[in-house]
């Protein structure tokens, strides 16, 4: 089973639970459009290399496609299609006027010079330009892409259209129309969702512990904002290894250390552990914030956390979900828990369209309110149908999508 088929398992459970008609289900199961492009780049050594890129627009039923662009050596079309599908559902759960899209380039960006990376980025935009735009498809950062890369993309697209185009892309630097609060937004959303889950279980943040897998954008902000909320963060990790401290980390200090050294490994006062040990740690909240397929049938039984709050996209497989459910572990699913990033991307787009900018306090207040509302809606659906939070989140998404499809005459 490939990852796209795997991702549809909870969707199909939601479809069965809701007794959704087959036509509507088929529309959701298939991406509207996928594009593969070849991007030639003149390398610093004078040779030319051709890179493969993808853009998938899973749905534009509720609005323009929306979703990040990932640079990674393992990117493939199935992964991009899956991530685009999750974006459709995530935007619908968050109540945003967006569909879902995603892009990627097969590349290890650490192997490119800054000039090569810029040339690749501009070449990708040239190739996907016919299908993107502020009312068609709005890219954003994802793994290994950042505000600088969004800036090059915005500049290239503005050159192609001959006009200033801040609204065609989000996750930009403030100087070119970025939103205050965007960098921390996904991690903030993970923490808001985790705090709601703790509330349901009657656990005060001060009595909770957390383990966070991944210390990139999502993981580092999740960890820092857990600290701000009074949750004791006892384990952290990245691709190089994991660290533990029973007394809890000052995650802002760890962030400074990572900025200097490139990894959490070796942080003074920490004990080295493995990523596998981190996932099995006895904590209140486990936040997988690294990448997909981390909690599987092979290691789910070892998980001891009371709550899993998914910062990454697709960190838990359907087989693992069944095991976790049987163990009574509450999983706050990715399409709910990590929707904070796209929510503030939506705020960025709104601010770009109006050319009127909000304070960071306004952004945080609006984001928190939207995420709590989405959490409560999903939890209410879980109670109503007697399903887990993941299936409930798909039910919430499908309700919005089907209503719009019916009104638009699609089914």
Q: In the set 56, 270, 338, 343, which binds ligand NAD (CB under 6 A)?
A: 338
Task: Write down the catalytic residue from 102, 172, 224, 232.
Answer: 102
The answer to whether the beta carbons of residues 71 and 104 sit under 8 Å apart is yes
Q: Which residue, 144 or 352, is less far from ligand NAD as judged by CB?
A: 144
Contact in structure between 119 and 105 (CB atoms under 8 Å): no
- Using the contact rule CB under 6 A, the part of the chain among 44-52, 141-149, 162-170, 348-356 near ligand NAD is 141-149
**Applying CB under 6 A, does 237 fall inside the site for ligand NAD?**
yes
Q: Is 290 in the site for ligand NAD (CB under 6 A)?
A: yes
Rounded Cα distance, 109 and 113, in Å:
8
φ/ψ of 268, rounded to 5, equals: -55, 135
Q: Does 219 bind ligand NAD (CB under 6 A)?
A: yes
- What residues between 186 and 205 interact with ligand NAD by CB under 6 A? 186
Distance CA 181, CA 92 (A): 21
144 binds ligand NAD (CB under 6 A): yes
By rule CB under 6 A, what string of x and - marks binding of each residue 73-112 to ligand NAD?
Answer: ----------------------------------------
Instruction: Compute the least distance from the CB of residue 338 to ligand NAD, in Å.
Output: 4
Task: Identify the CA nearest to 248 among candidates 239, 265, 236, 262.
Answer: 236
* Binding of ligand NAD by 245 (CB under 6 A): no
Q: Which residue is nearest to ligand NAD (CB)?
A: 216
**Cβ(179)–Cβ(218) below 8 Å:** no
Listed ranges 17-25, 201-209, 214-222, 387-395: which one lies at the site for ligand NAD (CB under 6 A):
214-222
316 binds ligand NAD (CB under 6 A): no
Residue 162 Cβ, how far from ligand NAD at the closest point, in Å? 30
Which of 212/398 has CB closer to ligand NAD?
A: 212
Nearer to ligand NAD, 239 or 369 (CB): 239
Q: Which of 245, 267, 341, 346 forms a contact with ligand NAD (CB under 6 A)?
A: 341
Task: Give the DSSP H/E element, type plus range, for residue 119.
Answer: helix 114-128
Q: Using CB under 6 A, which of 309, 311, 332, 336 touches ligand NAD?
A: 311
Q: Which is nearer to ligand NAD, 91 or 401 (CB)?
A: 91
Half-sphere exposure of 130 (CA within 13 A, CB side): 6
- Cα separation, 127 vs 120, in Å, equals 11
**102 labelled catalytic:** yes
* Angstrom distance (rounded) from CA 64 to CA 53: 20
- 212: nearest Cα among 164, 245, 175: 245
Cβ closest to ligand NAD, residue 39 vs residue 258? 258
Q: Which of 103, 151, 177, 214 binds ligand NAD (CB under 6 A)?
A: 214
122 by DSSP, 3-state: which? helix
- Catalytically active residues are 102
Can you give the binding site for ligand NAD, defined by CB under 6 A? Answer: 141-144, 186, 213-219, 237-239, 275, 289-291, 311-313, 338, 341
């Amino acid at each position: 089973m490939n990852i796209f088929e795997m991702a549809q398992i909870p969707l199909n459970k939601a479809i069965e639970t809701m007794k959704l008609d087959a036509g509507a289900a088929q529309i959701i199961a298939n991406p509207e459009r996928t594009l593969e492009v070849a991007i030639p780049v003149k390398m610093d050594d004078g040779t030319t290399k051709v890179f493969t890129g993808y853009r998938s627009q899973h749905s534009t039923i509720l609005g323009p496609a929306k979703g990040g662009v990932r640079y990674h050596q393992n990117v493939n079309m199935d992964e991009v299609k899956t991530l685009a599908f999750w974006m459709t559902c995530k935007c619908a759960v968050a109540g945003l006027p967006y569909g879902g899209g995603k892009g990627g380039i097969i590349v290890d960006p650490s192997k490119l010079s800054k000039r090569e990376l810029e040339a690749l980025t501009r070449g990708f935009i040239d190739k996907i330009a016919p299908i993107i735009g502020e009312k068609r498809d709005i890219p954003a950062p994802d793994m290994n892409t950042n505000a600088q890369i969004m800036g090059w993309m915005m500049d290239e697209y503005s050159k192609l259209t001959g006009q200033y185009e801040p609204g065609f892309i989000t996750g930009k630097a403030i100087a070119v129309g970025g939103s205050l609060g965007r960098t921390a937004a996904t991690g903030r959303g993970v923490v808001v969702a985790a705090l709601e889950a703790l509330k349901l279980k009657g656990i005060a943040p001060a009595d909770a512990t957390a383990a966070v897998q991944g210390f990139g954008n999502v993981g580092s902000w999740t960890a820092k904002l857990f600290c701000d909320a009074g949750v004791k963060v006892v384990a952290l990790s990245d691709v190089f290894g994991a660290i533990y401290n029973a007394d809890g980390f000052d995650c802002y200090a760890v962030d400074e250390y990572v900025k200097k050294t490139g990894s959490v490994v070796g942080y003074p006062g920490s004990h080295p552990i493995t990523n596998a040990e981190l996932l099995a740690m006895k904590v209140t909240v486990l936040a997988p914030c690294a990448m997909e397929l981390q909690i599987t049938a092979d290691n789910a039984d070892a998980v001891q956390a009371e709550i899993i709050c998914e910062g990454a996209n697709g960190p838990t497989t359907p087989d693992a979900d069944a095991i976790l459910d049987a163990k009574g572990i509450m999983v706050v699913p990715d399409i709910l828990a990590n929707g904070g990033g796209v929510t503030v991307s939506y705020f960025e787009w709104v601010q770009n369209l109006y050319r009127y900018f909000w304070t960071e306090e306004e952004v945080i207040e609006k984001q928190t309110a939207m995420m709590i509302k989405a959490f409560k809606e999903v939890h209410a659906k879980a109670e109503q149908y007697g399903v887990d939070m993941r299936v409930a989140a798909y039910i919430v998404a499908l309700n919005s999508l089907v209503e719009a499809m019916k009104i638009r005459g699609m089914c």
